[in-house]
Amino acid sequence: MAGYIEDRWINKKKDPTSGKRERTTRYGKGSRYRVAGIPGVRNMSFDTLEDAKAWLRRAGTDSERGEFVDPRDGSVALADYVTRFWKEGVRGAPGTVKRVDERVRLHILPHLGTVGLRDISATVLRSYIATLESQCAPRYARQILTTLSNIFETAIDDKRLVRNPMRAKSVRWPKVPEDQREAWPLETAQRVRDVIKARYRIAVVVALGCGLRQGEVFGLSPEDIDFQRGVIRVRRQV
């Protein structure tokens, strides 16, 4: 296995006169043992020989498998990682990108932005989810956590994390209540239509008769309607 441990306090070769290994100029300064020579792995220093040997074994084996993840790369703060590496990879329709940005900017970074990637543990996430549940509806909270999990998955691909902390067994996502919603009876919908201002009644008619959602109703224009064929083309949302 490649790699070696260097004692930076004591010379490797014995002094030809005294026959002893003499102290180096670094004696007593900084960490004593340095692990070096592992392909693709930056040098790492340790205070004790035992820790250096353990790192050499683990890093050497992972390097040979192509699975090595340097924990120092995971020390970057979540906000820095999102801004510098993750955000540029977000793709999708403008509305989707905007919603993802809002989740990160308003609900993730204010709570976890200053925390290092590797320091966002299951304990930290359990506390964060409890805070999130007190501020957001369960469905929206799950959307936020999905975005956070995607950030962690990207960090794994970038070899900054070994595993996704959102997948820990003790990290439980908010449950969405299985509530049943009942549609208004036709009579109720018609009464609502009749009591609002005349200029807005068409919104009720289009929504009720054509099944358009609110944003689609607001974005509808007369040229979107083929009156001869009885066809509505939904081209935009507001």
Residues 143-202: tens digit of each pLDDT: 999 999 999 999 998 888 888 999 999 999 999 887 777 888 989 989 999 999 999 999
Contact 132, 174 (CB under 8 A): yes
Name beta bridge partners: 36. Answer: 4
- Average pLDDT of the chain is 86
75-167 CATH fold? DNA polymerase; domain 1 (1.10.150)
- Sequence ranges of the chain with CATH classification 1.10.150.130: 75-167
Contact 48, 35 (CB under 8 A): no
**Residue 74 and residue 113: Cα distance in Å, rounded?**
13
Name beta bridge partners: 77. Answer: 116
Q: At what angle do helices 138-157 and 94-103 cross, to 10 degrees?
A: 90
**Residue 150 and residue 145: Cα distance in Å, rounded?**
8
